Structure 1
Amino acid sequence: MLQLDVSNAFLHGDLPDDIYMRQPPGFEDTSQPNLVCTNLSTASNKRHDNGNDQPSIQVLLAELHNSFALKQLGQISLFLGIQVLRNSDGFFLTQEHYANKLIQDAGFEQCKAAPTPIVPASTNRTVNTQLFPDPQLYRRLAGSLKYLSITRPDIAFATNRACQHMQQPTTQDFQNLKRILRYVKGTSNFGLPIIPGDVRLQTFTDADWASDQSNRKSVSGYCTFLGPNLISWYVKKQATVAKSSTEAEYRALSAAASEVLWLRRLSAELQLDQTTPTTIHYDNVSAIAIAKNPVFHARTKHIEIDYHFIRQHISTGDIHIQHLPSEAQIADILTKPFASTRFYYL
């Protein structure tokens, strides 16, 4: 993988109207005094049949050089804090340096590592409402963990939970945040492998019904693989309260289907056309039955829009929903906390 740096800003900015500009003092181009703006997509709109081979890459670079101040930085090794390591299998993306710096800045170098980023909720747990005295510290650490989750789906759920308390964090919220940091300390070298293989998309999705004890909203989670490689994941509290577990699960399924459609379009742009329906693995029998049943019942009218959306894309061949056992549902790690044995398995 090659890394390039383009000096120009606003590379994708289209200007449909007449804009009167002149080159700024000190940056005049005497050979092209009228040249002001250009567009990256216009400069590189040539489509190559084999865009990943070296000759095609060199042709594309030559096209870009003609329009932009372009620096070739060689093989990529660090991009926005993400290390790109090469091995015999392919690549490994890690933020180990960023994680270690975060632990150091938080003063956790000597802390004991935690086996999981979040502990399962206890039914007898008392609620601590005492406000944390330094909310800015809480926000800074939570934001840093959010950025770390770019290559760490294992902390995505716990970090999402922590970021929901930015406004008025309590001392208990900070204890939960410290738990994530202790887990990161013992797993700072974790990351994402990128290896050659099949280029078909497949998605796993799940929901945890009414799991938020403050407002009883459900949590949706899904993750998508391109062949053997995890390329996308999602954790989000649903916008409204679901009246049943089936409703919560169906909303999660609809969100996953939207992501699949977007990834299919993106894959086509990258010349990785998905010629078969993308499989969405799901463990809720009721939601799957609704998705595949052509008869729409009155008791499911509250999810009618999601129903028609999913049915449409099943019929057009964009997606295929397949049941899998709950114990094999790896999207579980994005919707709820687990004890260490189950967490490690997922």
Structure 2
Amino acid sequence: MILLLLYIDEIIITDSSSELIANIITRLGKEFTMKDIRPLHFFLRVDVRYFKDGIHLNQGKYVIELLMKTDMALAKAISTPLEQKHGLQQVTGNSIDVSTYSRIVGSLQYLTITRPDISHTVNLVSQFMQTPNTKHLQAVKRILIYVKDWGGCATTRRSTSRYTIYLGANCISWASKKQHRVSRSSAEAEYRGLASTAAKIIWITYILRDIVFYLKTAPTMFFDNISALYMIVNPVLHDRTKHVEMDYHIAREKVARGHLVTRCHDPGIHPRCNLAYLTPKGSHTSPYHITT
């Protein structure tokens, strides 16, 4: 099966047969003006580097360009992207140009493709797009300085869900997003987060099936809240979750049908073995070194 990814005038074509790929490129070349630059090494400002067991994606050049555009190239690097007691929801300051703020934050959002460690912080500063002030801009500049060297919101009381999804040894999806509803407890917030992650995993399995890639075993979800685990596997607790919208019970349904397996992280696990640290909440240094 040929897979073709097209964005404006850039194309990626892949298949298990080199001969079939060459045939497709030849046929496209007869219809359009094209340049074959195999092997793939750069696509949409993402560098592709090859090693023995796979490929490595990075946006080092993109980071340098971003720092130059924002006049942050000479700033001294720091170890965390966010102050521990930032209080960005309550801070006041002079209003700034919305377009400038949005442009920089948008650039940082694109950088999260290869930098999951800034996902939470970028999600936070993205919440002030409409009325940014000087304090918010300082937080954005801190993220820029950070990437140079590689319970929730106090205002809305909505928790933030974070997940990292692996296919084998490869991290293929991650996110840090504020939940759409206010939860009554930390267990409920975790349960909603698990439901969102379960929906994402199921969607990925559908994509894999479309490209004729079938998983031999059911995907496993690891998390660190034992109460949320009980809410998924124990139907006796249904009375305690009646107020939770029906769409959030997708995790329970998929586990019951054997489409997902749930596991709870060992509370004594070393931070370097806990994959949740790939998307830290910004105020603590990640034990992982993420290169650009």
What TM-score results when the alignment is normalised by the length of structure 2?
A: 0.85
Aligned length: 281
Partner residue in 2 for 1:260: 201
Partner residue in 2 for 1:97: 61
**Cα distance in 2, alignment partners of residues 7 and 151 from structure 1:** 19
2:126 is aligned with 1:167: no
1:294 to partner: Cα distance: 2.6
Alignment match of 2:45 (pick from 49, 71, 81): 81
Contact 1:6-1:70 within 8 A present in 2 as well: no
Alignment match of 2:73 (pick from 103, 109, 122): 109
Matches within 5 A, 1:112-123: 112-121=76-85
1:4 to partner: Cα distance: 7.8
**Cα distance in 1, alignment partners of residues 260 and 186 from structure 2:** 22
2:197 is aligned with 1:221: no
SS of residue matched to 2:61:
helix
1:295 to partner: Cα distance: 2.3
AA in 1 matched with 2:32: A
Partner residue in 1 for 2:210: 269
Contact 2:277-2:288 within 8 A present in 1 as well: no
Contact 2:108-2:122 within 8 A present in 1 as well: yes
Matches within 5 A, 1:1-346: 51-58=15-22, 61=25, 65=28, 69=32, 71=34, 72-121=36-85, 127-187=90-150, 209=151, 211-303=152-244, 305-306=246-247, 308-326=249-267, 327=271, 328-334=273-279, 336-340=281-285, 343-345=286-288
SS of residue matched to 1:128:
coil
**Cα distance in 2, alignment partners of residues 217 and 248 from structure 1:** 8
Closer, same or farther: CA 332–87 of 1 in aligned 2, 3 Å:
closer
Contact 1:291-1:307 within 8 A present in 2 as well: no
Contact 1:3-1:76 within 8 A present in 2 as well: no
- Percent identity over paired residues: 32
**Cα distance in 2, alignment partners of residues 155 and 223 from structure 1:** 13
Contact 2:277-2:287 within 8 A present in 1 as well: no
Contact 1:94-1:151 within 8 A present in 2 as well: yes
Closer, same or farther: CA 88–299 of 1 in aligned 2, 3 Å:
closer
Closer, same or farther: CA 281–6 of 1 in aligned 2, 3 Å:
closer
Partner residue in 2 for 1:198: none
AA in 1 matched with 2:139: N
Gaps of 5+ in 1: 10-43, 45-49, 188-208
**Cα distance in 2, alignment partners of residues 321 and 94 from structure 1:** 31
Closer, same or farther: CA 66–182 of 1 in aligned 2, 3 Å:
closer
1:305 to partner: Cα distance: 1.5
1:130 to partner: Cα distance: 1.5
Gaps of 5+ in 2: none
**Cα distance in 2, alignment partners of residues 261 and 6 from structure 1:** 25
Contact 2:118-2:143 within 8 A present in 1 as well: yes
Closer, same or farther: CA 66–170 of 1 in aligned 2, 3 Å:
closer
Contact 2:199-2:250 within 8 A present in 1 as well: no
Q: Which has the higher contact order (CA 8 A, sep 6+)?
A: 2
Contact 1:113-1:183 within 8 A present in 2 as well: yes
1:214 to partner: Cα distance: 1.2
Decide which structure has greater helix share. Answer: 2
Question: 1:183-229 deviations in whole A, cap 9, x for unaligned?
Answer: 01112xxxxxxxxxxxxxxxxxxxxx3x1011111101111011111
Contact 2:118-2:280 within 8 A present in 1 as well: no
**Cα distance in 2, alignment partners of residues 121 and 336 from structure 1:** 12
Question: 1:124-145 deviations in whole A, cap 9, x for unaligned?
Answer: x994311333333221111111
**Cα distance in 2, alignment partners of residues 150 and 86 from structure 1:** 18
AA in 2 matched with 1:143: G
Shifted more, 135-144 versus 324-333: the winner is: 324-333
1:59 to partner: Cα distance: 5.3
Question: 1:4-33 deviations in whole A, cap 9, x for unaligned?
Answer: 897999xxxxxxxxxxxxxxxxxxxxxxxx
Contact 1:113-1:185 within 8 A present in 2 as well: yes
SS of residue matched to 2:236:
coil
**Cα distance in 1, alignment partners of residues 4 and 195 from structure 2:** 37
Question: 1:48-83 deviations in whole A, cap 9, x for unaligned?
Answer: xx9513244345556x64995373332111101111
